A and B are shown apart, each in its own frame.
Chain A
Amino acid sequence: MKRILLALLLLACALAARAQLTIDITTSGGRQIPVAILPFAGEASQPQAVSTVVSADLGRTGLFRLVNTVGVSPLPTEPSEVNFVDWQSRSAEALVIGKIEPQADGRVEVRFRLFDVAKQAQLASFSYVVAPAQLRATAHRIADVIYEKLTGEKGVFSTKITYVVKKGTRFELQVSDADGANAQTVLASNEPIISPAWSPDASRIAYVSFDQKKPVVVVQNLAQGTTRVVANFRGNNSAPAWSPDGSTLAVTLTRDDIAQLYLIGANGGEPRRLTTTPAIDTEPSFSPDGKSIAFTSDRGGSPQVYRMSVEGGPAQRLTFEGTYNVRPRYSPDGKTIAFVQRDAGRYRIAVLELSTGQVTVLTDGTLDDSPSFAPNGKIILYETSVGGRGQLAAVSSDGRVRQRLVSSAGDVRDPAWGPLPTQ
């Protein structure tokens, strides 16, 4: 653990001003897979030590125990050089070795191998030829392969997150790697920015801008930096949620006085009203199959989570415990919904299992908000409050592992986890 933190610290120093967030594991539980990740031969002369990033990625999931690799010399780079008996005695179940070799064209070749120590068998072997500047991204890809081989689930180390940073009176929408590195400001304003949401292909982010002194829904193309106002009707325009095919946004409009749900094209156009109630209907979230929308409504007297067909029609109430259950978000497999629950004045992240109705509270903050699932469904990123300041935190969807993303800059809020990169 100390090593991970030290590595993260060094990493943070190396990345200087670019790294906005560092990650600290606050709790972990359950069985951890012991894995030995050896330094990659030749990485010391590169701008980024690949094995350090791989170790940090795997370590902060809480699912792995990093086996001490100090003093291994010479570093094995081929299967024939691996002393499996030695690694068994160090109780490693998995072993990662690799090497980095400069190419004539200035790029580098990164090779890595993953072994099952007990079976003395190779589980994976990959080679990438990349620019030295891509070594960090390559390390995330390697971590994704290892994670998937050892857990059976997709890794999310190559994904991005977005969040809003408030610095004094200034608001910045930032995008960073999932580990908080490479933070970039994609929008800055002296007015609030809330509710960022990734398009399913990760090319655009929808958000709510207050630049026009009222909430307006904007879609920004990340590569081009262009923005398009998608909903700017009378009253408030907010809570954008993408349909899984990226063609449509569900939004909340007050053009007909009270907050109601509407569907609108991702490029704008005439909205189609989805709910018709005398109550607040807001915070839509599409089911992964695109057929249902979960949302918050206080039609029953207190705000609760409901679900309805995207075609309209009646809504079904999903939450019944307590008087405040809001901000639903479907898990990527559609089987659970994360939401914010108020209990005795404390606001916490909970998950609802749709097949059983079972609710599990995952966090222990007082002002937790904005849950967002990682694309593999295993982690929920959310906003918490530490000493009156907004900070990001993450919890595994089974509640066992918690992380805090420690920011050096301002109030950090409203996170959204981006989709898996397209291959």
Chain B
Amino acid sequence: MKKVLISLALASLLAACGSQEVKKDVPVADRTTGTQQPAPTGTTSTTTPTQQPGIAGNPLKDPANILSKRSVYFDFDSNAVKDEFRPVVQAHSKYMVDKKDSNIRIEGNCDERGSREYNLALGQRRAEAVKKTMTVLGVAESRIETVSFGEEKPANAGHDEAAWAQNRRADIKYAGE
């Protein structure tokens, strides 16, 4: 699975000038090529992008591209980047190595349990853990800012383990987004 995702990511990067499949109801804000996105073509499998030369999408926004995945989720009381999220971190690292003018901010988050300020520090540690992985993969440290929102910006407002699991995360945001 990991390999598939990586090769998919690489394929997307290599096919940077190729078109992307655009899923229905996914807003596409990128207009870098000055060309309109093709009209949605239904629910074509995302693993077989059709080639439409001359029409470029933004891989960071393309739901078919692993680069559109921005969140790394953590276990309770942990800041270890789990194996299942390494492909996401690797894909963004590769993208940044290739795209030298890109900068990111990594935002660490926690679930609501425990004190607000200690959670703020824990969220920072999660953001730092992702940053460390990316610098090992060749991204200059100066291009990554880390901040924490602690427990203040839950992705899921619920109060059970399912919600908490979605809130223990680090989000990757590109400058200008």
User: Interface readout for A247-284 with B: 1 if CB under 8 Å, 0 if not?
Assistant: 00000101001110000000000000000000010110
Task: Give the segment of B2-10, B21-29, B149-157 that binds chain A.
Answer: B149-157
User: Interface readout for B125-160 with A: 1 if CB under 8 Å, 0 if not?
Assistant: 100100000000000000001111110110000110
Beyond A192-B152, A236-B147, is A258–B115 a contact (Cβ under 8 Å)? no
Structural contact, A235 and B118, CB atoms closer than 8 A: no
Interface residues in A343-358 (C-beta closer than 8 Å to B): 347
Structural contact, B152 and A252, CB atoms closer than 8 A: no
Beyond A192-B149, A192-B152, A235-B146, is A296–B124 a contact (Cβ under 8 Å)? no
Which of A234, A280, A369, A414 is in CB contact (< 8 Å) with B121? Answer: A280
Interface residues in A332-348 (C-beta closer than 8 Å to B): 340, 342, 347
On chain A, the number of residues with a Cβ less than 8 Å from chain B's Cβ atoms is: 35
Structural contact, B148 and A236, CB atoms closer than 8 A: yes
Is B100 on the interface with A (CB-CB < 8 A)? no
Residues from chain A with Cβ under 8 Å of B121 in the complex: 236, 252, 254, 258-259, 280, 282
User: Interface readout for A390-423 with B: 1 if CB under 8 Å, 0 if not?
Assistant: 0000000000000000000000011000000000
Is A388 on the interface with B (CB-CB < 8 A)? yes
Beyond A296-B115, A326-B115, A388-B159, is A210–B128 a contact (Cβ under 8 Å)? no
Structural contact, A238 and B113, CB atoms closer than 8 A: no
In the bound assembly, the distance between CA atoms of A367 and B119 in angstroms comes to: 13
Structural contact, A367 and B112, CB atoms closer than 8 A: yes
Structural contact, B149 and A210, CB atoms closer than 8 A: yes
Residues from chain A with Cβ under 8 Å of B113 in the complex: 347, 367
Task: Give chain A's interface secondary structure class.
Answer: strand
Is A158 on the interface with B (CB-CB < 8 A)? no
Structural contact, B117 and A210, CB atoms closer than 8 A: no
Structural contact, A258 and B128, CB atoms closer than 8 A: yes
In the bound assembly, the distance between CA atoms of A324 and B122 in angstroms comes to: 13
In the bound assembly, the distance between CA atoms of A7 and B72 in angstroms comes to: 52
Q: How large is the interface on B (under 10, 10 to 19, 20 to 34, 35 or more residues)?
A: 20 to 34
Beyond A258-B128, A259-B121, A280-B121, is A340–B115 a contact (Cβ under 8 Å)? yes
Is A303 on the interface with B (CB-CB < 8 A)? yes
Give the A-B pair count, Cβ closer than 8 A: 89
Residue of A nearest to B146 (CB): A235
Structural contact, A214 and B116, CB atoms closer than 8 A: no
In the bound assembly, the distance between CA atoms of A12 and B118 in angstroms comes to: 36
User: Interface readout for B94-124 with A: 1 if CB under 8 Å, 0 if not?
Assistant: 0000000000000000001111111011101
Structural contact, B153 and A282, CB atoms closer than 8 A: no
In the bound assembly, the distance between CA atoms of A367 and B115 in angstroms comes to: 9
Interface residues in A373-403 (C-beta closer than 8 Å to B): 385, 388
User: Which 10 residue pairs across A and B have the least CB separation, nearest first?
Assistant: A259-B121, A192-B152, A327-B115, A214-B147, A280-B121, A388-B159, A326-B115, A239-B117, A326-B118, A283-B117
Seed contacts A252-B120, A258-B125, A280-B122; 13 additional CB < 8 Å A-B pairs: A192-B153, A194-B150, A210-B152, A214-B147, A236-B120, A238-B120, A239-B117, A252-B117, A259-B121, A280-B118, A282-B118, A282-B120, A283-B117
- Interface residues, chain A, with chain B CB atoms under 8 Å away: 192, 194-195, 210, 213-215, 234-236, 238-239, 252, 254, 257-259, 280, 282-283, 296, 303, 324, 326-327, 340, 342, 347, 367, 369-370, 385, 388, 413-414
- Interface residues, chain B, with chain A CB atoms under 8 Å away: 112-118, 120-122, 124-125, 128, 145-150, 152-153, 158-159
Q: Can you sample 26 A-B contacts with CB below 8 Å?
A: A194-B117, A194-B120, A194-B152, A213-B147, A215-B147, A215-B148, A234-B145, A235-B147, A236-B124, A252-B117, A254-B146, A258-B121, A258-B124, A259-B120, A259-B121, A259-B125, A280-B122, A324-B114, A327-B115, A327-B117, A327-B118, A367-B112, A367-B113, A385-B159, A388-B158, A414-B116
